[in-house]
Amino acid sequence: MYNFLPIAYFENKFIPFAEAKISIATHALHYGTGALGGLRGIPNPQDPRQILLFRLDRHCQRLSTSAKFLHYDCSAEKIQATIIDFIRKNQPTNSFYIRPFVYTADLGIAPRLHNIEKDFFVYGIELGEYSSPEGVSCRFSSWYRQSDVSFPLRGKISGGYITSSLAKTEAVESGFDEAIMMNSQGKVSEASGMNIFIVRNGEMFTPGFDQDILEGITRDSVITIARNLGIKVTERPIDKSELIISDEVFLCGTAAKVTPVNRIENFELPTNRPITNKLREKFTAVTENRDLKYQDWVFSVPLD
């Protein structure tokens, strides 16, 4: 059961979350014609009257870019200003997750993006650990990641998450925590809602954008942090068999942060994970604004 933040932004105003409702005839509900964002907010460990947001500008820009696929001009500046106001009105005291969403808001049945009303809302939920920090088990999904030739993978389009949902439920109902999806070429793509990295012989590898992955903001952050730590990172195709024999495997995303993988199918992975652990510690320090090198990644919202 989620604890929703009390105030939402809906139809150009702030109202109680319980009053933010859409019609059952809403276009986006029927056709998946929405685009979502997601970012974490945490009280500053050094000053709980400040809320820290990780890479707010990148999250707002990605949602604005995603909105373009819906033929909707929703500026990153508008999204950012709304999120800041949203936080100040809610006055959160615990870690939370923000869900900004753009969508086709008309009531109608024709699948289209032209001559149709669009809108934008924001709500939030309290959120601690999304995945176990001790690690997760994964299976290869029977569902393949969509291909960019038929789906706009450069956007976080809501309709695409049916595949993620099918993969996640298949994994959980068969005794695993998470799913790993392959692309149409049979190469590793990503997890149900996270990017994936492997470590071999002290080097990191991850599927590139040509492998039908989401352009993850946490993924980009992990790559930058790793390279600054002197760890070589290569973006390239990864085979299913290479995943199984890797020294370390981890997933990353806004909700999951950096999550180690303990087991893939019936193959146990090494419990010694020096690179994953180093990145997890560094990433936590960065998001808590304890690392001067990355302070420009952390946006602070004062609550007073």
Question: 265-289, pLDDT tens digit by residue?
Answer: 999 999 999 999 999 999 999 999 9
The whole-number pLDDT of residue 282 equals 97
User: Any residues with CB less than 8 A from the CB of 2 and at least 6 apart, and which?
Assistant: 125, 126
Band (304; pLDDT cuts 50, 70, 90): confident
Please name the fold of domain 7-126: D-amino Acid Aminotransferase; Chain A, domain 1 (3.30.470)
Q: Which CATH number is associated with domain 136-287?
A: 3.20.10.10
pTM beyond cutoff 0.85: yes
Please report, for the chain, the start and end positions of each structural domain, with discontinuous segments joined by +.
7-126, 136-287
Give the whole-angstrom CA distance, residue 113 versus residue 273: 47
- The alpha carbon of 146 is separated from its chain's Cα centroid by a whole number of angstroms, namely 17
Angstrom CA distances, 257 to 77, 219, 281, stand at 25, 9, 11
The whole-number pLDDT of residue 1 equals 76
Question: 113-128, pLDDT tens digit by residue?
Answer: 999 999 999 999 999 8
Angstrom CA distances, 90 to 8, 16, 87, stand at 9, 10, 5
| Averaged pLDDT for residues 230-253 | 97
Contact 44, 50 (CB under 8 A): yes
Tokens of 210: 């040509």
CA-wise closest residue to 43 among 98, 97, 93, 99: 93
Give the whole-angstrom CA distance, residue 275 versus residue 166: 31
Lowest mean pLDDT, pick from 17-31, 124-138, 192-206, 241-255: 124-138
Same CATH fold assignment for domains 7-126 and 136-287: no
- Long-range contacts: 12-15, Cβ < 8 Å, 24+? 14/85, 14/86, 14/89
Give the whole-angstrom CA distance, residue 260 versus residue 279: 11
The whole-number pLDDT of residue 2 equals 87
> Residue 104 pLDDT > 80, yes or no?
yes
The whole-number pLDDT of residue 131 equals 77
